[in-house]
Chain A
Amino acid sequence: MVLQYEVEQFLYREAALLDDRRFAEWLALIDDDIHYWMPIRRTVTVENLRLEYAKADGMAYFDDDKADLRMRVEKLQSNSAWSENPPSRTRHLVSNVRILEVKGDEIALEAAIHLYRSRLNDKIDNWIGKRRDRLRRVDGDFRIFERHIFLDQTVVLSTNFSSLF
């Protein structure tokens, strides 16, 4: 129960950092061996569900390590990242948090996410899906060392992904 509470509070704090555009502080919660990945999802028949996600050695929307995420954060902080200037307004909702496994200092969890983006005056994006995170305890806090994002959209109905999940 305590662990569940701790993990949830951590995820809410992390979400707030992204929504408040405190990207450097967010990056500090990411461990050096992070794998940040969003595979391509596809509409398939029930018979072909094994093809629903593109293979791990295939293409993905995100397939980032720490250096890649640092680059994304630096880009977000520059005034010439036009996709984020004017900045989007985002709200990261995290729910249905389930701890799947605890192994020593490492915790595997699954959560439902809803990332809402309001862009300019008339653009709205809703990205809903499931996130599989792996956290480890470091210095009395958590660090994320794996984040796999599984969106419920197949064709991405958005101009871009300029937000972090």
Chain B
Amino acid sequence: MPDHVQTNPTGAEAEDIQIPDVSGGLIDRAVYADPKLYRLELRRIFARAWNFMCHETQIPDAGDYFINYIGEDQVIVVRGEDGAVRVLLNTCRHRGNALCRAELGNTRTFVCSYHGWTYGLDGKLIGIPGKADFYRDAIDQDKSGLVQAAKVDHYRGFYFATLDPGAPSLFDYLGDVGRVGMESMLNHGDVVALDGVQKNVIDCNWKIAVDNLFDWYHVKVSHNSASRVGFLNQAAMMPMTQMVMLGELGHAIGGPMVTQEEQARLDALSDEERLAIDALPDAERLKVTPTMRRPLRSSATKEAMGPVGVRATGHPNIFPNLWISTRGMQLSLRLPRGPGRTEIWWFTVMPKSFTDQQRRAAKKFITHAFGPAGLLEQDDGENWSQSTMSSLGVASRRHPHNMQMAMGQDEVLVDPSGQKAIETRVNEHAQRWTYRCWAEWLRARDWPELMATRSSSPTGRL
């Protein structure tokens, strides 16, 4: 790591920022509006965390690149001649210009459009125009390569990067709950990314978009019109049985579940029988399936997710901002663009084993659920935007958001396998957990301090 890269600046600016106490389920609205808190989030959350970059099938060949963000740092995710995936800051070491202005593509080099500094796919500076004539060779070319992410790794083809060399491994970072989330995309083995990432901008704080993914309370009201026209089955979306898993560092899963009885019936079926049931048309499937939840997870998936995790069919969030959604076929990033602005990205992946017909059917459901034109998502953005904007009012700001649903009313059950979960009704446990961990990330000055002070996955009454 070159010494000029400050991944954990702990200047005075950070010390005098009041980090609101969120332990009682009351969230100070400054959390959604304060520019100082926002700057601290960029430094102590995004520049420190493992951030999702892309799926390996989006950049299969040497020279393929995809642009993403780590906080407000734009990065180039690029496959080198050696096949390795690297994550490079998209900023020229000369005058900071963006080297790459496209969203994706294939190239042999990155040439700066300002003065022509040229970098290889591995980030090395391979050309400086006028090096002899103007610099008179008094420039150290080897020291001016593109800044690389401190660590790049993948989980079964899903690439992540962190800017902080002190970060734990991706595997450890994800922990049990994060890995359960990742495995929910791999039920049918390896996946392939569909071409096209939907992207749109909502005037809301990124955390409101994040905590909404655990919010099964809003479905009935926010998405009422989608239910009325028959797109959404409220009974399936908002059952009285819900499961919550809370993972260290802020990962969580919340939403519908497969009950133990349903799982026992599912376990009695062969993997072939499970596939056959999922291939039936909805109405036919309902008559024979042991659970309404889709997809029926395989015995190998149960092995990978664990006996409790396999029954969690709600929404995982990989802290800070990666929602694994839509039956494990979509990933949504909530990318911060200032305290009051968020870019929403939707990646879609499908099992390589899917037939054309299965792929078309899944694509149809996905296209109509999410994205800016999605029958569900259409009605979310304005709510999030108004919730964010009210944080600017002086009087409004005096009254915190209330996230106290089911607080102190549920019990964390510990399975003999060690996996922990709450089985309950609609609740706000995962939201409270997200903000509790968020505050821990902001208070800790570096990774060692975060690891020493972060909450363990809770047990007992919650």
Contacts and interface: CB of A to CB of B under 8 A. Distances in A.
Contacts of A81: 225, 378-379
Interface stretch (B80-88, B102-110, B149-157, B179-187): B102-110
B199 interface: yes
Given A71-B231, A74-B229, A78-B229, A43 B102 contact: yes
Contacts, number: 133
B228 A74 contact: yes
B202 A55 contact: no
A61 B197 CA distance: 10
Contacts of A42: 102-104
A82 B375 contact: no
A159 B105 contact: no
A78 B107 CA distance: 49
Given A58-B194, A83-B379, A75 B200 contact: no
A28 interface: no
A80 B218 CA distance: 13
A161 B378 CA distance: 7
Nearest to A162: B378
B382 A51 contact: no
A132 to B, nearest CB: 18
A54 B196 contact: yes
Interface in A129-165: 154-162
Contacts of B372: 61, 156, 158-161
A59 interface: yes
A40 interface: yes
B351 interface: no
Contact of B103 (A44, A47, A57, A63): A44
A10 interface: no
A16 interface: no
Interface in A67-111: 68, 71-72, 74-75, 78, 80-83
Contact of B382 (A59, A80, A159): A159
B377 A160 contact: yes
A44 to B, nearest CB: 5
Among B226, B230, B367, max chain A CB count under 10 A is at B367
A158 B225 contact: no
A47 B195 contact: no
B195 A80 contact: no
Contact of A80 (B224, B346, B364, B375): B224
B348 interface: yes
B287 interface: no
Given A83-B378, A83-B382, A62 B373 contact: yes
A98 to B, nearest CB: 27
Contacts of B103: 42-44, 154
B211 interface: no
A38 interface: yes
Contacts of B195: 54-55, 57-59
Interface residues of B, number: 46
B101 interface: yes
Interface string B361-389: 00110111001110101110111010000
Contacts of A155: 199-201, 343
B440 interface: no
A104 to B, nearest CB: 30
Interface in A35-54: 38-40, 42-45, 47-48, 51, 54
Contacts of B194: 57-59
A48 B86 CA distance: 21
Given A59-B367, A160-B381, A44 B104 contact: yes
A159 B367 CA distance: 16
A60 interface: yes
Summarize A's interface: helix, strand, loop or mixed. loop
Nearest to B202: A159
Nearest to A62: B373
A111 B368 CA distance: 26
B105 A75 contact: no
Contacts of B203: 159
Contact of B373 (A45, A48, A61): A61
B226 A75 contact: yes
A9 to B, nearest CB: 28
A67 to B, nearest CB: 10
B296 to A, nearest CB: 25
B228 A156 contact: no
A47 B105 CA distance: 9
B404 interface: no
A71 B375 contact: yes
B222 interface: yes
A67 B198 CA distance: 23
A159 B381 contact: yes
A145 B104 CA distance: 33
Nearest to B67: A43
A40 B197 contact: yes
B379 A71 contact: no
Nearest to A79: B225
A25 to B, nearest CB: 18
A55 B372 CA distance: 19
In the A-B complex, list the 7 residue pairs whose CB atoms are closest, starting with the nearest: A54-B196, A58-B195, A59-B196, A159-B381, A48-B105, A156-B200, A81-B225
Given A47-B105, A51-B104, 4 more contacts: A62-B373, A75-B228, A82-B379, A155-B343
15 contacts: A42-B102, A43-B103, A45-B102, A57-B195, A58-B195, A59-B194, A61-B198, A75-B228, A78-B229, A80-B221, A82-B225, A83-B378, A156-B200, A156-B372, A159-B201
Interface of B: 101-107, 194-203, 221-222, 224-226, 228-231, 343, 346, 348, 359, 363-364, 366-368, 371-373, 375, 377-379, 381-383, 385
